[in-house]
């Protein structure tokens, strides 16, 4: 018998931006994993009321990291960035989070790209100092969320469309 949790979703893998089914790709980068910040970062999104619909631990291939950061391929830091993500000194935690305005609010919760400009209370503002070791990633638009969720969570059943019993208390 087919599990209801694994049933084919009625909504696209990347969610429906602008609704309570909006989805974003959030990652804890290798420095965040190495420094033991995975639970804190997951906890912030959980406590906010967002719903975890995808979660995996992996050392990304060079091809995946190159594609993920394709927009930055001409930047001087690109090679170092891809090496940091893929060298296997620690894995990456890839996640898909769902809820109202999760793309924009996910970025707010991460804080500015350069931690020196990130406010206290944000992940980067609380835990890091250097733009090259800024702990986390979050999609910056609906287009990048669609691209990134597809890239990191291609396989069937990897993003799970489930109903949280808290939903009526969080989203109404």
User: Which residues sit in the known binding site?
Assistant: 29, 77, 107, 113, 124, 134
What minimum distance in Å lies between the beta carbon of 20 and ligand ADP?
24
Q: Could you tell me which of 98, 30, 96 has the C-alpha nearest to residue 58?
A: 30
**Tokens 């691209």 sit on residue:** 147
Which residue in the list 50, 137, 147, 148 is annotated as catalytic? 137
How many residues does the structure list for the chain?
Answer: 172
What minimum distance in Å lies between the beta carbon of 99 and ligand ADP?
20
- The smaller minimum CB distance to ligand ADP, of residues 137 and 147, is found at 137
Element (H, E) at 44: helix 38-48
Cα separation, 17 vs 146, in Å, equals: 9
- Contact assessment for residue 53 and residue 160, using Cβ atoms and an 8 Å cutoff: yes
Please, which residues bridge with residue 138 across strands?
26
- The smaller minimum CB distance to ligand ADP, of residues 145 and 159, is found at 145
- The smaller minimum CB distance to ligand ADP, of residues 134 and 161, is found at 134
**Tokens 């969320």 sit on residue:** 145
Cα separation, 49 vs 169, in Å, equals: 9
**Which residues in this chain contact ligand ADP in the complex, by CB under 6 A?**
72, 77, 81, 113, 131-132, 134, 137, 140
Cα separation, 136 vs 69, in Å, equals: 14
What minimum distance in Å lies between the beta carbon of 81 and ligand ADP?
5
Residue at shortest CB range from ligand ADP: 113
- The smaller minimum CB distance to ligand ADP, of residues 41 and 161, is found at 41
What minimum distance in Å lies between the beta carbon of 51 and ligand ADP?
22
14 is a catalytic site residue: no
Give the residue numbers marked as catalytic: 137
């Amino acid at each position: 018998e087919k599990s209801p949790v694994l049933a084919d979703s009625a909504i696209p893998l990347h969610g429906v931006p602008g609704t309570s089914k909006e989805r974003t790709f959030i990652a804890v980068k290798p420095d965040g994993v190495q420094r033991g910040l995975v639970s804190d970062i997951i906890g912030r999104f959980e406590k906010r009321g967002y719903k975890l619909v995808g979660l995996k631990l992996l050392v990304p291939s060079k091809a995946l990291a190159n594609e993920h950061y394709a927009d930055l391929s001409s930047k001087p830091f690109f090679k170092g960035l891809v090496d940091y993500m893929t060298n296997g000194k620690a894995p990456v935690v890839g996640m898909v989070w769902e809820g109202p305005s999760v793309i924009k609010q996910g970025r707010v919760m991460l804080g500015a790209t350069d931690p020196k400009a990130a406010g206290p209370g944000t992940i980067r503002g609380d835990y890091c100092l250097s733009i090259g070791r800024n702990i986390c990633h979050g999609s910056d638009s609906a287009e990048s969320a669609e691209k990134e969720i597809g890239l990191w969570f291609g396989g069937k059943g990897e993003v799970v469309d489930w109903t949280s019993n808290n939903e009526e208390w969080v989203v109404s």
